[in-house]
Amino acid sequence: MINQVEIRNFRCFKNVKLHGLKRFNFIVGESGTGKTALLEALFLAAAGNPQIWFRLRRWRGLGEGPMQLGVRETYEALFRDMFYGFDQKSGANIRILDSELGKRELEIYYKKSNVYRLPLQADKEPEAFLIDPIQFKWDFGNDIVHSQVVIKDGALQMTGDAKVYPLFLISPRTFSGRDNANFFSNLSRLKKAEPVCKAVQAIFKEVEDISLELLAGEPQIFVSLSTLPEKIPLGDLSGGLSKYVEIVQSILNNPGGAILIDEIENGFYYKNLGGLLRNIIELCDQHQVQLFATTHSYEFLEVVADVMASAKKGADAFRLLRLERPNGVPQPEIRVIPGDSLEAAMKEHFEVR
């Protein structure tokens, strides 16, 4: 498991250290306090190539690349919002300490270069400028991998690949029916898809079976219902069910790893939250998967407090990470609250979000 996290000069975090993380970590705080940025820091450190940064940009609706590759300001604009206060000179650092794999550290900075670009445009005066390519340096124990984002042949190219950390990110912006189908295909091929069907049947009693079918030539997960003569696509039964299946499959495909879920309660009917969370926690325990999840829902936190007692290690396996910005300071403060304190606070109906 990830026991400690240190983040410096990334997004809204100038210098943050988190200790005492557990199997189940729920992240709360007002909008704009950095909940999603915390998940992004973990996801980026777990990656093995800078292309993950461009995926994060796309998920935030910012696009994946510049329109003018021959302009230095445009190149650097792709990365400015990565750094705290847009301070690109100091670089960023994300460090994970894992109970078994040890240290995994990512440094992001601009490397001094002697390479010049000379835009050759007939309608403009030639202007030579120095490119300092951004550098991603992954350090995990005995291995160090450097990767750069460079301009080559009119396109952005990434050099180098590091070994990835076993971690999945799930958010309203990352969901893909194709990915869900690929996950199911992988589990089915390995004869490990039965837990997916059981997890669905625990919430939706009318589901008889789950299978992979072609819809307009594209693989999709279908469900068989006792009330219908034909199978239907999973998403037609429930959008929340599609998300639930994605979470279940991420756990099954990632034993011994971690999953990050942004806005975990979204798409779920409140009466189903208890059963959904119990199944997710049980699967994480069975497959030794660590969970980090953000939420805005008080109802969901009530369910968290309720299911602690039935968890394998009780309240000690839970942590609440509360992000606050007192007096409007740029960097949020993160309070790590033990599970038993969360349980007591919910019983007294304290506001913990």
Which residues of the chain form beta strands (DSSP E)? 2-10, 13-18, 24-29, 92-98, 102-110, 116-117, 129-130, 134-140, 143-152, 155-159, 167-170, 207-215, 218-225, 232-233, 258-261, 290-294, 318-324, 333-338
| Site of tokens 């037609």 | 236
Which pLDDT score, from 0 to 100, does residue 213 have?
A: 92
Residues 6 or more apart in contact with residue 35 via CB below 8 angstroms: 27, 28, 29, 262, 294, 323
- Amino acid identity at 135: Q
For residues 148 and 246, give the distance between their C-alpha atoms in angstroms, rounded to a whole number: 32
Which pLDDT score, from 0 to 100, does residue 126 have?
A: 43
Which pLDDT score, from 0 to 100, does residue 117 have?
A: 53
Which pLDDT score, from 0 to 100, does residue 215 have?
A: 87
Give the global pTM: 0.89
For residues 121 and 91, give the distance between their C-alpha atoms in angstroms, rounded to a whole number: 33
334 neighbors 277 (Cβ within 8 angstroms): no
Give helix then strand counts, H and E, for the chain: 10, 18
| Tens-digit pLDDT string for the chain (353 aa) | 899 999 999 999 999 999 999 999 999 999 889 999 999 999 999 998 999 999 898 888 886 665 565 567 788 888 999 999 998 888 999 999 998 888 999 999 998 765 555 555 555 544 444 668 899 999 987 889 999 888 777 678 887 788 889 999 998 776 667 788 988 999 999 999 999 999 888 888 889 999 999 888 889 999 999 889 999 998 888 878 888 999 999 999 999 999 999 999 988 888 888 889 999 999 999 999 999 999 998 889 988 988 887 777 788 999 999 999 887 778 899 999 999 898 888 877 777 87
β-pair partners for 10: 13, 83
Which pLDDT score, from 0 to 100, does residue 250 have?
A: 93
Residue 323's Cβ-count burial label (10 Å; 0-12, 13-18, 19+) is buried
User: Please, how many CA atoms are within 13 Å of residue 262, restricted to the half-sphere of its CB?
Assistant: 22
